[in-house]
Amino acid sequence: MSETHLREQICLLAKSMFDRGLTGGSTGNISARTEDGGLLVSPTGTSFGRLEPARLSRFDASGNQVGGDNPTKEMPLHSAFYDTRSTAGAVVHLHSCHSVALSMLPGVDEDNFLPPLTPYGIMKLGKVKLLPFFLPGDPKMGEAVRGLAGKRTAVMLAQHGPVVAAKDIEAACNAIEELEDTARLAHLTWGLHPRALSAAQVQALVTKFDVEWTA
């Protein structure tokens, strides 16, 4: 994909998520690999609803900023995924309400944050790790991701928001939307004892779709 097209796609997908209320105000950040091994990153303090292709932060393959506005303060979080997951072509971080609310509830499994309610939650995300609360912009968020040694495609920052890495920008956006949808389903069925997928059904999905499923 040409860099021009990638810049346009980043802004288009970000606006789509903003318009549907998946992140608001100037929250959230997004990045994607360029063909030359560099990065395009949403600038600090910008809204997903008003990103401009020409103003995206541009980094070369050595990690030096070579163009655009100053990047998001969550760069350590993005870098941690790129450095530990060779397959990562894009990273998205949102402040989506249902997933944040779910992170506050007692009894949530820190190692497997999302309940197994739908097949696509399993297929697109694998196990989502719930990380503790960090101050926004704290480099320790990146350190926590590095501590997972590339074994997770998605994490949930407690009381903050989800972060997902995927092979390209479209896949990352689709996956993080699936995360938020699953969190919303968890809220809708909370206390109602919903029929979740069985362990055998989860394993069948993991096997058939070659899902990364860390023990």
Query: Would you call 74 a catalytic residue per the annotation?
Result: yes
Percent of the chain topping pLDDT 90: 97
Reported as a pLDDT band with limits 50, 70 and 90, residue 214 is confident
**pLDDT digit string, tens, across residues 98-111:** 999 999 999 899 99
Query: Is 215 among the domain residues?
Result: no
C-alpha span between 81 and 96 (Å, rounded): 20
Query: Is 111 among the domain residues?
Result: yes
Question: Residue 191: what residue type?
Answer: G
Q: State the catalytic residue, choosing from 74, 177, 178, 180.
A: 74
**pLDDT digit string, tens, across residues 160-205:** 999 999 999 999 999 999 999 999 999 999 989 999 999 999 999 9
Q: Which domain holds residue 121?
A: 3-208
Query: Is 174 among the domain residues?
Result: yes
Q: State the catalytic residue, choosing from 3, 82, 120, 170.
A: 120
Query: Is 202 among the domain residues?
Result: yes
Here the tokens at position 185 are 């389903």
Query: Is 73 among the domain residues?
Result: yes
**pLDDT digit string, tens, across residues 118-161:** 999 999 999 999 999 999 989 999 999 999 999 999 999 999 99
Here the tokens at position 56 are 């995206």
Query: Would you call 82 a catalytic residue per the annotation?
Result: no
What is the predicted pLDDT for the residue at 123?
97
Ordered DSSP codes for the chain:
--HHHHHHHHHHHHHHHHHTTSS-TT--EEEEE-TTS-EEEPBTT--GGG--GGGSEEE-TTS-EEESSPBPTTHHHHHHHHHH-TT--EEEE---HHHHHHHTSTT--SSS-S---SHHHHHHH-SPEEE----TT-THHHHHHHTTTT--SEEEETTTEEEEEESSHHHHHHHHHHHHHHHHHHHHTTTS---PPPHHHHHHHHHHTT-----
Question: Residue 7: what residue type?
Answer: R
C-alpha span between 174 and 116 (Å, rounded): 18
Q: Which residue pairs from 204-207 have beta carbons closer than 8 angstroms and sit at least 24 positions apart in sequence?
A: 205/119, 205/122, 205/123, 206/122
- The residue written with tokens 């699936």 in the block is 178
Q: Which residue in 157, 133, 140, 129 sits closest to 29, CA to CA?
A: 157
pLDDT of 5 > 70? The answer is yes
Report the pLDDT averaged over residues 40-51: 97
The count of domains in the chain is 1
Between 29-33, 51-55, 134-138, 162-166, the lowest mean confidence (pLDDT) is in 134-138
pTM of the model: 0.96
Query: Is 213 among the domain residues?
Result: no
Report the pLDDT averaged over residues 93-101: 98
Query: Is 136 among the domain residues?
Result: yes
Q: Which residue in 40, 92, 91 sits closest to 69, CA to CA?
A: 40
Provide the CATH number for the domain around residue 87: 3.40.225.10
